[in-house]
C-alpha cells in the first residue's frame, strides 16, 4: 500500500512539473526572411504549444514584439502584406500624405551631402541612411503607443514578457531593451547600418542588435530561465562577399559571428533556409511564409514530445482580447518639441500639429506630421507618445533634428546618347522667425548647361505662403546632342537656344497636394538656327532674340511618387500667362531675308496638363496623359523661329532631349496612354503611346515664313516609348526604345541612368 501511494505521489509530481513547463521563444534576425517567424508562431498556437516568454533581434524583434503586444499571427500577416508596410519599410510616402507645397523645384540630384562647421573646421557629411526613417518612426508609434500605455512601459507586463537586443554604437556591446517605449526598442533592434539611421535611447546611440547578438537564446536563459527554449533561425551564415557588392562587404565587416546552437537539454532549434531572399524582399511573402510553415510542421512532433503542457487557442485569444482592451485610443493633447533651439520654430511646429484644437486624433496628426517632414529645414522628426492617465490622452514628444545649414547635391544623367550631363547644387538654410533658403545650381554637359541663383522665404503663418526669386541662364545645343549620321557638308538641324531670365513668385497651399502661385519674370531668349536642314560649314545661322515680360498665374496639383517614370499618383496644372515683348531677327546665309528686322508681340497663353495613374491590379497600372495649349500668339519672322518659340509636347524623358517641329504649335491638343507592368516595387516595364494634334497647324511658305492652316485639324503626329525601368535608391536606370513621327531617324535606343530634367524657363 505504501509502495503504491509513493508511486502515485511521484506520478502526480512529474505530471505537475510537466504541466508547469515554461517555454521561451527566441527569434533570430534576417531581414525579410523573418516573415517565416509568423508561421512558426501560428503553428505553435494551432498545436497548443505555450509561449511564455519571447525575445528577438532585428526582424525577430519586430515579429516577437508585435506578438507580445497582442497582435495575432493573422493580424501580423495582414500588416506585412499591407501597402502601409511597404511604404514604411521603404521610406516612401503614401500618395495621401505627399505634401507638395514645400517641395523644391525638380532637379536631377542623386546624392545629398551635408556640410557642418565646428570650431572653424568644415566637414562634409555623407548620407547616414538609404531609407528615410520618418515613415517607420510614425508607424511604430501608431502600432505600439497604446501598448506602452497598457504595459506601463514594462515589457514584462506585455501580453507575453518580451525583450529585444540592439547594439550600443559607442561600446559595440549588446544593449538589452526590457522597458521604455516598445516601438523605439524595436526600431533600435532592427536599424541595420546604412539602410536605416541609428537612434538614441537613454543617451545611447543604437544600431541593429544582429551586429553583436543575432540570436539571444543566452539572454533568454539569463533573464527568464524557461524550462524549454524554442529557437527559430532564419539568418544565413557569413558569405564570402562579392567584390562589387558593397552591402555584402559592409555586412561581413560589422556582423560578429553568432552562436545559433541550443544545447539539446535546453531546447529545440528550428531552422528555415532561405538563401535567395535579400534583406528587403518582403514582396516574396508567400514563398517565405510557406517555407516557415514547412519548418514548423516538420518539427512539431519533436516539440510536442518535449513540451507536454498545452494551451487552448481560445484561451490565447481570450488573453489577447483582455490585454488589448487595456489599450487607450490614440488621441493627443499636449505637444512638446525637442532639439529645436529657435522658439519661433518650435511654436510653428506645435501649431502645425494642434492648430486651434485641444485634442488631436491620429488621422489629423498623421497628415500634419507628413507636412512637417516635407520641410527641408528639418532633417528628421521622431514622434514618441506618452499616455497621460490624468487627462486620458497622450502627450506627444517630437524629437526633431534640424537640417544642417549647408547642403550639396550631386547628380545628373549618364546615357549612351550624347545627352550626358552633370549636376551640382549648393543650398544654405536659416530659420529666424521664418525659413530662408538660398540656393544655386549648375548643369554642365554637351547638350544642356545652366546656372541658377536665388532664394525662397517661407512664412509660417496660419495660411503659409512663400516668396521666391531666381535668376537663371539656360543653354540647349540640339546640334551637339544629335546622334544622327552626318557628312562634312550635310549636317543635322542646327539649333542652339540660349535663355536668361529673372523671375519672382509667390504661392500658397491649397490642401495637401496643391498650390496656387503667381509669377512675374523678365526673360531674354536667343535662338541660333539655319532655316534649312542642309547647310555648309561656311554658312552663318539666323539669330532670333525675344525680350519679354511675363505674368503667370497657375494652380498645380502633384501627388506623383517619382519625379521621372512615375507609377502612382497624379499631376495636374492649369496656368494663364500674359507675355509682351520684342522679337528681333538677324538673318543668316540660309535666310531669304537680307536685313535685320524687329516686331512687337503681345499675347495670352493658357495651358492645362494632366497625368494620372490608375492601379488596375497588383502588377498592372494604367496611365493617362493630356495637354492642351491655346494662345493668340502671332507668327515670328520666319517658320523656324515660329516653331522654336512655340510650346512643345514632351511626354517622355527622352523627348525632352530633342527638338522636333512636328510636336510644336501655338495651339494644340496632346495626349496618350501608358501601360505599366510592375515586376516588383522597383522594377517595371512601361509602354507609352502619344498623339499630337496641332490646331490650325503652322506651315512654311516658299519664302520660309510661316502661315496657319485653314483647317482646324489638318494633321497629327505620333510618338511612343517602350522602357524597362529600375528605380534605385538614387535615381532611375532605364533602357528605352523611343519612336517619333518625323523625318530622318525615327527610332532611338538609349540606356540611361539618372534624370533628364532642366531648370525652368522664363516663360
* pLDDT-based confidence at residue 238 (cuts at 50, 70, 90): low
The pLDDT of residue 640: 93
Q: How far is CA 305 from CA 89, 299, 301, 590, in A?
A: 39, 10, 6, 95
Binning pLDDT at 50, 70 and 90, where does residue 471 land?
Answer: very high
Residue 127 lies in a domain: no
Q: Sign of the CA dihedral 473, 555, 622, 107?
A: positive
- Tell whether the model's pLDDT for residue 627 goes beyond 80: yes
In a domain, 580, yes or no: yes
Minimal CA–CA distance to 762: which of 390, 500, 393? Answer: 500
pLDDT of residue 276: 81
pLDDT of 493-552, one tens digit each?
A: 688 999 999 999 999 999 889 999 999 999 999 999 988 877 777 888 999 999 999 999
Q: Are residues 320 and 355 in the same domain?
A: no
Predicted pLDDT of residue 5? 44
Question: What pLDDT, on the 0 to 100 scale, is given for residue 581?
Answer: 96
The size of the chain, in residues, is: 763
pLDDT digits (tens, 9 = 90+) for 179-232: 999 999 999 999 888 788 888 888 899 998 888 999 999 999 999 999 999 999
* 521 plus 657 within the same structural domain: yes
Give the pLDDT confidence score for residue 242 in this predicted structure.
Answer: 60
- Bin 450: left if φ > 0, else alpha if -120 < ψ < 50, else beta: beta
- Is residue 423's pLDDT more than 90? yes
Query: Which residues, 6+ apart, have CB-to-CB distance to 28 below 8 Å?
Result: 34, 56, 57, 58, 60, 210, 214, 215, 231, 232, 233, 234, 235, 258, 260
Task: Report in angstroms the alpha-carbon separations of 511 from 98, 464, 555, 567.
Answer: 11, 11, 12, 22
In angstroms, rounded to a whole number, what is the distance separating the alpha carbons of residues 120 and 430? Answer: 19
pLDDT above 60 (res 753): yes
Same domain, 639 and 744: yes
Residue 373 sits in the same domain as residue 414: no
Count CB neighbours of 146 within 10 A.
21
Asked if 305 and 341 sit in the same domain, the reply is: no
> The domain spanning residue 354 has which CATH number?
3.10.20.310
State how far the Cα of 163 lies from the Cα of 53, in Å rounded to an integer.
9
Give the mean pLDDT of the chain. 89
Domain co-membership, 172 together with 282: yes
pLDDT tens-digit series, residues 599-623: 999 999 999 999 999 999 989 999 9
For 14-18, 26-30, 45-49, 328-332, which range has the lowest pLDDT when averaged over its residues? 14-18
> Is there a domain that residue 731 lies in?
yes
- Which one, of 735, 698, 742, lies nearest residue 719 by Cα? 742
Of the listed 28, 58, 525, 570, which one is catalytic? 58
CB 193 within 8 A of CB 250: yes
Query: Which domain range does residue 44 map to?
Result: 29-91+132-325
Per-residue pLDDT tens digits for 359-409: 999 999 999 999 888 888 888 899 999 999 999 999 999 999 888 888 999
Single residue among 363, 386, 402 that ends a domain in this structure? 402
Q: Are residues 315 and 441 in the same domain?
A: no
Q: Could you tell me the pLDDT band of residue 1, with boundaries at 50, 70 and 90?
A: very low
Give the residue-averaged pLDDT of 66-80: 96
Instruction: Tell me if 340 sits within 8 A of 401, measured CB to CB.
Output: no
The model's confidence at residue 85, banded by pLDDT at 50, 70 and 90, is confident
- Does residue 101 lie within any of the structural domains? no
3-class SS shares of the chain: helix, strand, coil, % to 5 = 25, 40, 35
Q: Whose CA is closest to 694, among 706, 681, 680?
A: 706
The residue among 567 and 260 whose pLDDT is bigger is 567
Is residue 521 a part of any domain in this protein?
A: yes
Shared domain for 250 and 365, answered yes or no, is: no
Average confidence (pLDDT) over 61-80: 96
End-to-end CA, the chain: 108
User: Are 337 and 319 in the same domain?
Assistant: no
Cα torsion angle, 401, 404, 405, 409, sign: negative
Phi/psi at 316 (5° precision):
-65, -45
Residue 124, domain member (yes or no): no
pLDDT band at 481 (very low <50, low <70, confident <90, very high): low
Mean pLDDT, residues 78-100 taken together:
86
Give pLDDT, residue 488: 37
Choose one of 325, 349, 375: the last residue of a domain.
325
* Boundary (domain end) residue, out of 402, 420, 443: 402
Residue-level pLDDT at 21:
86
Reading phi first (left if > 0) and then psi (alpha if -120 to 50, else beta), residue 589 is in alpha
Is the model's pLDDT at 15 over the cut of 60? Answer: no
Comparing 2 with 104, the larger pLDDT belongs to 104
Helices vs strands, H then E, count in the chain: 14, 32
Catalytic (active site) residue 157:
no
Q: Say what the pLDDT of residue 7 is.
A: 45
Which residues are CB-contacts of 322 (< 8 A; sequence separation ≥ 6)?
none
Residue 335 included in any domain: yes
The region of weakest confidence among 210-214, 256-260, 399-403, 685-689 is 256-260
**More reliable by pLDDT, 104 or 239:** 104
Tell me the three state secondary structure of residue 726: strand
pTM of the shown model: 0.84
369 and 315 belong to one structural domain: no
Domain count, the chain: 3
514-529 and 495-510 strand pairing: antiparallel
pLDDT at 476 over 90: yes
- Would you say 369 and 354 are in contact if contact means Cβ atoms under 8 Å apart? no
Is the same domain home to 398 and 410? no
Output the pLDDT for position 27: 96
Q: What sign results for the dihedral spanned by CA atoms 657, 663, 664, 670?
A: negative
Same domain, 373 and 416: no
CATH code for the domain of 543: 2.40.160.50
> Above 50 in pLDDT, residue 22?
yes
Confidence of residue 629 (pLDDT cuts 50, 70, 90): very high
pLDDT band at 489 (very low <50, low <70, confident <90, very high): very low
The mean pLDDT of 261-267, rounded to a whole number, is 90
Strand boundaries in 483-569, DSSP class E:
495-510, 514-529, 542-558
Rounded to whole angstroms, how far apart are CA atoms 23 and 247?
36
Across 344-377, where does the E strand assignment appear? 360-361
User: Residue 278 is part of a domain; what is its CATH number?
Assistant: 3.40.1090.10
Catalytic residue among 137, 168, 181, 208: 208
Let me know if residue 9 belongs to a domain: no
Give the per-residue pLDDT at 599.
94
pLDDT at 278: 80
168 belongs to the catalytic site: no
Mean pLDDT score, 249-267: 72
Question: What would the DSSP string read from start to end of 412-468?
Answer: EEEESSS--EEEEEEEEEEESSSEEEEEEEEEEESSEEEEEEEEEEEE-SSS-EEEE
Measure the CA–CA gap between 454 and 469, rounded to whole angstroms.
6
SS3 state of residue 724: strand
Residue 331 has pLDDT above 90, yes or no: yes
pLDDT digits (tens, 9 = 90+) for 117-158: 777 777 777 777 778 888 899 999 999 999 999 999 999 999
**C-beta of residue 269 within 8 angstroms of C-beta of residue 27:** no
Q: Give the residue-averaged pLDDT of 320-333.
A: 95
Amino acid at each position: 500500500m505504501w509502495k503504491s501511494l509513493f508511486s502515485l505521489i511521484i506520478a502526480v509530481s512529474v505530471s505537475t512539473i510537466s504541466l508547469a513547463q515554461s517555454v521561451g521563444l527566441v527569434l533570430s534576425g534576417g531581414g525579410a526572411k523573418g516573415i517565416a517567424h509568423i508561421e512558426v508562431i501560428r503553428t505553435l498556437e494551432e498545436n497548443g504549444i505555450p509561449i511564455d516568454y519571447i525575445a528577438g533581434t532585428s526582424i525577430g524583434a519586430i515579429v516577437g514584439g508585435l506578438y507580445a503586444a497582442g497582435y495575432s499571427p493573422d493580424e501580423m500577416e495582414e500588416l506585412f502584406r499591407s501597402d502601409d508596410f511597404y511604404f514604411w519599410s521603404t521610406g516612401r510616402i503614401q500618395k495621401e500624405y505627399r505634401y507638395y507645397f514645400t517641395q523644391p523645384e525638380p532637379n536631377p540630384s542623386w546624392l545629398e551631402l551635408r556640410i557642418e562647421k565646428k570650431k572653424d573646421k568644415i566637414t562634409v557629411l555623407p548620407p547616414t541612411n538609404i531609407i528615410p526613417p520618418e515613415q517607420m518612426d510614425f508607424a511604430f508609434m501608431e502600432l505600439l503607443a497604446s501598448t506602452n500605455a497598457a504595459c506601463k512601459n514594462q515589457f514584462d507586463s506585455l501580453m507575453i514578457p518580451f525583450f529585444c537586443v540592439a547594439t550600443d554604437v559607442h561600446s559595440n556591446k549588446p544593449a538589452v531593451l526590457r522597458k521604455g517605449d516598445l516601438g523605439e526598442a524595436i526600431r533600435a533592434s532592427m536599424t541595420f547600418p546604412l539602410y536605416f539611421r541609428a537612434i538614441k535611447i537613454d543617451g545611447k546611440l543604437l544600431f541593429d542588435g544582429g551586429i553583436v547578438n543575432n540570436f539571444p537564446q543566452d539572454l533568454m536563459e539569463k533573464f527568464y530561465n524557461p524550462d524549454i527554449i524554442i529557437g527559430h533561425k532564419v539568418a544565413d551564415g557569413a558569405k564570402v562577399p562579392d567584390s562589387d557588392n558593397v552591402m555584402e562587404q559592409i555586412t561581413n565587416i560589422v556582423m560578429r559571428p553568432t552562436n545559433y546552437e541550443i544545447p539539446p537539454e535546453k531546447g529545440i532549434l528550428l531552422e528555415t533556409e532561405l538563401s535567395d531572399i535579400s534583406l528587403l524582399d518582403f514582396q516574396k511573402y508567400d514563398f517565405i511564409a510557406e517555407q516557415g510553415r514547412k519548418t514548423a510542421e516538420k518539427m512539431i512532433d519533436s516539440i510536442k514530445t518535449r513540451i507536454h503542457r498545452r494551451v487552448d487557442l481560445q484561451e490565447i485569444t481570450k488573453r489577447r482580447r483582455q490585454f488589448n482592451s487595456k489599450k487607450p485610443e490614440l488621441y493627443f493633447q499636449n505637444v512638446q518639441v525637442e532639439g529645436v533651439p529657435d522658439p519661433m520654430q518650435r511654436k510653428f511646429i506645435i501649431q502645425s500639429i494642434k492648430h486651434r484644437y485641444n485634442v488631436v486624433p491620429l488621422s489629423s496628426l498623421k497628415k500634419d506630421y507628413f507636412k512637417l517632414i516635407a520641410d527641408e529645414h528639418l532633417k528628421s522628426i521622431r514622434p514618441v507618445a506618452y499616455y497621460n492617465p490624468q487627462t486620458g490622452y497622450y502627450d506627444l514628444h517630437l524629437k526633431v533634428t534640424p537640417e544642417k545649414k549647408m547642403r550639396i547635391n550631386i547628380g545628373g544623367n549618364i546615357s549612351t546618347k550624347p545627352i550626358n550631363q552633370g549636376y551640382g547644387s549648393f543650398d544654405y538654410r536659416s530659420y529666424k522667425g521664418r525659413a530662408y533658403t538660398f540656393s544655386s545650381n549648375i548643369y554642365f554637359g554637351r547638350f544642356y548647361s545652366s546656372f541658377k541663383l536665388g532664394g525662397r522665404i517661407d512664412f509660417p503663418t496660419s495660411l503659409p505662403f512663400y516668396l521666391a526669386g531666381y535668376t537663371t541662364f539656360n543653354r540647349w545645343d540640339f546640334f551637339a546632342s544629335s546622334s544622327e549620321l552626318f557628312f562634312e557638308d550635310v549636317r543635322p538641324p542646327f539649333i542652339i537656344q540660349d535663355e536668361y531670365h529673372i523671375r519672382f513668385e509667390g504661392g500658397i497651399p491649397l490642401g495637401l497636394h496643391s498650390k496656387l502661385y503667381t509669377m512675374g519674370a523678365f526673360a531674354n531668349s536667343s535662338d541660333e538656327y539655319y532655316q534649312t536642314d542642309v547647310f555648309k560649314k561656311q554658312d552663318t545661322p539666323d539669330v532670333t532674340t525675344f525680350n519679354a515680360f511675363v505674368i503667370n498665374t497657375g494652380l498645380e496639383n502633384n501627388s506623383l511618387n517619382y519625379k521621372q517614370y512615375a507609377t502612382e499618383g497624379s499631376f495636374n496644372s492649369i496656368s494663364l500667362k500674359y507675355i509682351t515683348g520684342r522679337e528681333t531677327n538677324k538673318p543668316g546665309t540660309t535666310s531669304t531675308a537680307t536685313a535685320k528686322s524687329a516686331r512687337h508681340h503681345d499675347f495670352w497663353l493658357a495651358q492645362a496638363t494632366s497625368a494620372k495613374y490608375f492601379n488596375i491590379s497588383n502588377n498592372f497600372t494604367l496611365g493617362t496623359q493630356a495637354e492642351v495649349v491655346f494662345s493668340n500668339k502671332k507668327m515670328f519672322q520666319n517658320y523656324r523661329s515660329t516653331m522654336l518659340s512655340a510650346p512643345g509636347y514632351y511626354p517622355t524623358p527622352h523627348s525632352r532631349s530633342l527638338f522636333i517641329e512636328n510636336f510644336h504649335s501655338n495651339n494644340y491638343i496632346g495626349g496618350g496612354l501608358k501601360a505599366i507592368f510592375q515586376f516588383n516595387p522597383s522594377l517595371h516595364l512601361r509602354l507609352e503611346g502619344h498623339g499630337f494634334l496641332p490646331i490650325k497647324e503652322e506651315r512654311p511658305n516658299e519664302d520660309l515664313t510661316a502661315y496657319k492652316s485653314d483647317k482646324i485639324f489638318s494633321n497629327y503626329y505620333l510618338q511612343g516609348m517602350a522602357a524597362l525601368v529600375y528605380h534605385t535608391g538614387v535615381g532611375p536606370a532605364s533602357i528605352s526604345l523611343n519612336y517619333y513621327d518625323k523625318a530622318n531617324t525615327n527610332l532611338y535606343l538609349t540606356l540611361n541612368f539618372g534624370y533628364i530634367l532642366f531648370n525652368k524657363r522664363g516663360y
